[in-house]
Amino acid sequence: MNKTFLFDALREATDEEMQRDKSVFVLGEDVGHYGGSYKVTKDLHVKYGDIRVLDTPIAENSFMGMAIGSAMTGLRPIVEGMNMSFLLLAFNQISNNAGMLRYTSGGNFNIPLVIRGPGGVGKQLGAEHSQRLEAYFQAIPGLKIVACSTPYNAKGLLKSAIRDQNPVIFFEHVLLYNLQDHIPEDEYFIPLDKAELVRSGEDVTIVTYSRMRYHVLKALDILVEDGYNPEIIDLISLKPLDIDSIISSLKKTNRLLIVEECMKTGGIAAEIIAQVNDDYFDLLDAPIVRLSSQDIPTPYNGNLEKATVVQPQHIVEAVKKLLY
């Protein structure tokens, strides 16, 4: 097993799938000769040429429409959003075309499309580059949504997403690209609809995803030292939610804390709370607690930016309050 950066794990997955299947191609801004904003497509244009690693103009609505049309005709496009915030400019294509065409065509068209790229709150990237679009896309029928969090799951999830017959929104966090981990040399896949049990425990279920996984793990060190035994779940799949894994844990702990970088209003945590309250309320020994980003545009100022996002100490305090 080699130790690999997360961005290289994504590159390996893309390379392997392009080599296996000539219908797979990449398009987006600066994905070719520049190698992508975070080098996920570095040097792939040398191996596969400028048509299969296609540099596009700065016209998100246009190249998203082209990707969807190519998927309808049998290709398997991977669209890289230089920053996922920019894909709001292609929201119409993603919602009214990518998500719906399989249904509105009576099943005559599949849309095997992957839309991937960096998002989340970085380090002073400003409001327009710090969007968390999972809440925006969650309500769109016909999409699958995943958020990778380790080099291992990044590679396995991307390979699964490329082979899937449905449009997949694939979220990567801008601050996780330089994470390193051992990944297998043999080919492997990770399902797009399953959460990961990061740690078994009995006191409280902590559900999280993406970069917040690491804030939870920092909080864990303090909690364990103080005698607490939390169970930690990385959602990975944001749509559909793996509610079964959450409920299986909740049957042991009877307490639920959700930690997300998404905004509080209408976020992923809000949907989890609704589903648990609707169908599994009797499992709860205490009200569900959610820790989310503040509902404001992310400030450029570093200290103000940090104040808008959940920090490990907030998680420690929430667990202690939830248990006592």
Quick check: is 188 in a domain? Answer: no
At residue 1 the predicted structure's pLDDT band, cuts being 50, 70 and 90, is low
pLDDT, residue 324, reads 83
Phi, psi of 292 (to 5 degrees): -135, 170
Q: What is the rounded average pLDDT for all residues in the chain? A: 95
Fill in the amino acid letter for 303. Answer: N
Burial class (CB in 10 A: 0-12, 13-18, 19+), 323: middle
184 HSE (CA, 13 A, CB side):
7
Same domain? For 139 and 6 the reply is: yes
State the average pLDDT over residues 250-260.
97
pLDDT, residue 190, reads 98
Quick check: is 259 in a domain? Answer: yes
State the average pLDDT over residues 206-220.
98
Same domain? For 54 and 148 the reply is: yes
Burial class (CB in 10 A: 0-12, 13-18, 19+), 227: exposed
pLDDT, residue 128, reads 86
At residue 135 the predicted structure's pLDDT band, cuts being 50, 70 and 90, is confident
| The three-state (H, E, C) secondary structure of 86-137, written as one string | HHHHHHHHHHHHHCCHHHHCCCCCCCCCEEEEEECCCCCCCHHHCCCCHHHH
State the average pLDDT over residues 38-63.
96
pLDDT, residue 110, reads 95
CATH number (domain holding residue 84): 3.40.50.970
Same domain? For 216 and 178 the reply is: no
Same domain? For 48 and 168 the reply is: yes
State the average pLDDT over residues 7-14.
98
Same domain? For 169 and 201 the reply is: no
State the average pLDDT over residues 214-220.
98
Quick check: is 67 in a domain? Answer: yes
* Residue finishing a domain among 133, 148, 183: 183
Q: Say if residues 27 and 56 touch (Cβ distance below 8 Å).
A: yes
At residue 73 the predicted structure's pLDDT band, cuts being 50, 70 and 90, is very high
β-pairing verdict for 231-234 and 196-199: antiparallel
Quick check: is 61 in a domain? Answer: yes
* Residue finishing a domain among 156, 183, 210: 183
In total, how many domains does the chain have? 2
Same domain? For 9 and 150 the reply is: yes
Same domain? For 54 and 88 the reply is: yes
Quick check: is 189 in a domain? Answer: no
Same domain? For 315 and 205 the reply is: yes
Q: Which of 129, 196, 215, 260 is catalytic?
A: 129
∠ CA 288-85-168 to the nearest 5 degrees? 70
pLDDT for 267-320, tens place per residue? 999 999 999 999 999 999 999 999 999 999 999 999 999 999 999 999 999 999
Give the range among 65-74, 83-92, 122-131, 146-155 with minimum mean pLDDT. 122-131
Q: Is 45 a catalytic residue?
A: no
pLDDT, residue 130, reads 87
pLDDT for 161-212, tens place per residue? 999 999 999 999 999 999 999 999 999 999 999 999 999 999 999 999 999 9
pLDDT, residue 126, reads 87
pLDDT, residue 204, reads 98
Quick check: is 190 in a domain? Answer: no
* Residue finishing a domain among 183, 218, 233: 183
Contacts of 174 (CB under 8 A, 6+ apart): 38, 83, 118, 119, 120, 122, 125
Same domain? For 271 and 177 the reply is: no
For residue 247, the surrounding DSSP H or E stretch is helix 243-253
Q: Is 173 a catalytic residue?
A: no
Same domain? For 43 and 147 the reply is: yes
Q: What residue numbers bound the domain in which 46 lies? A: 2-183
CATH number (domain holding residue 305): 3.40.50.920
Question: Does residue 146 surpass a pLDDT of 80?
Answer: yes
Quick check: is 147 in a domain? Answer: yes
β-pair partners for 4: 181
Same domain? For 211 and 150 the reply is: no
Quick check: is 45 in a domain? Answer: yes
pTM, rounded to two decimals: 0.95
Phi, psi of 108 (to 5 degrees): -75, -25
The conformation of residue 214, written as its DSSP 8-state character, comes to H
Same domain? For 149 and 263 the reply is: no
Q: Which of 29, 60, 134, 196 is catalytic?
A: 60
